Amino acid sequence: MFTGLVQTLAEVAQLAPEPGGVRLVIRAPELAATAAIGASIATNGCCLTVVGIEGELLAFQAGEETLSRTNLGKLRPGDRVNLEGSLRMGDEIGGHLVTGHIDGLGTVDERIDDAEWATFWFRVPRELTRQMASKGSVAVDGVSLTLVNVEDERFSVALIPHTLSVTTLGGRQIGDTVNIETDVLAKYVERQLSRPIN
């Protein structure tokens, strides 16, 4: 479980094909210093397991399913990724509860810059917007954000200068693909509402 508060903006060092997927190596000095083999780290919002640590490098394995359903399959060496270590019992939840299980991909549909601020519109499948509401929460590339407007197939968020500078979102442009995770509570509500009443 995560909070959607990115701990570090890290750099992809290597992607090495291996049977069943790839080995993803990320340069993340801060997290590598305290991480352990088997730890869960959200990478652009996708929960991955640390399988190797060497100096400032963290290694993960990503299977074909993960690569096809997230934007991790589009990464190249030098790309930046958002990283967040998993919650520990007693940690403060500053964002919202994020599982690290990506619900789908979105696309930057519109970006409106206003001085150091920006409003983003993301286009997503209709089944995802059914789990969204204005002033509710969504995770975009693992970043906990507050929804501003929700339409049938897209939604908007307003990003402060800090978020733009310390996450991948600052570099996102129209057409870029992002990982979307809707609020876990909204999933349960939709599930209950969709069940027939006996």
Question: What is the tens place of the pLDDT at every residue in 19-48?
Answer: 999 999 999 999 999 999 999 999 999 999
For residues 106 and 138, the answer to whether their CB atoms sit within 8 Å is: no
Largest CA distance in the chain: 58
pLDDT at residue 152 is higher than 80: yes
DSSP, collapsed to helix, strand or coil, labels residue 197 as: coil
Per the structure block, which two tokens stand in for 97? 């509860």
Q: Cβ contacts of residue 65 below 8 Å, gap of 6+?
A: none
Q: How confident is the model at residue 96 (pLDDT cuts 50, 70, 90)?
A: confident
Q: How confident is the model at residue 183 (pLDDT cuts 50, 70, 90)?
A: confident
Per the structure block, which two tokens stand in for 126? 């209709």
Average pLDDT over residues 77-99: 83
Q: What is the pLDDT of residue 198?
A: 64
Average pLDDT over residues 110-115: 96
Question: Which domains are delineated in the chain?
Answer: 8-85 (2.40.30.20), 104-194 (2.40.30.20)
DSSP, collapsed to helix, strand or coil, labels residue 75 as: coil
Phi first, then psi, for residue 125 (nearest 5°) are -60, 150
Per the structure block, which two tokens stand in for 33? 């210093």
Q: What is the pLDDT of residue 89?
A: 67
d(CA 135, CA 152): 16
Per the listing, tokens 């990506």 go with 102
| Residue-wise DSSP of 27-73 | E-HHHHTT--TT-EEEETTEEEEEEEEETTEEEEEEEHHHHHHSGGG
Q: What is the dihedral of CA 147, 152, 43, 88, to 10 degrees?
A: 50
Name the helix (H) or strand (E) containing 111: strand 104-114
Q: What is the pLDDT of residue 192?
A: 64
d(CA 58, CA 56): 7
Give percent of the chain above pLDDT 90.
83
Phi-psi region of 21 (alpha: psi -120 to 50; beta: other; left: phi over 0): left
d(CA 107, CA 180): 10
d(CA 198, CA 50): 45
pLDDT at residue 194 is higher than 90: no
Average pLDDT for the chain:
92
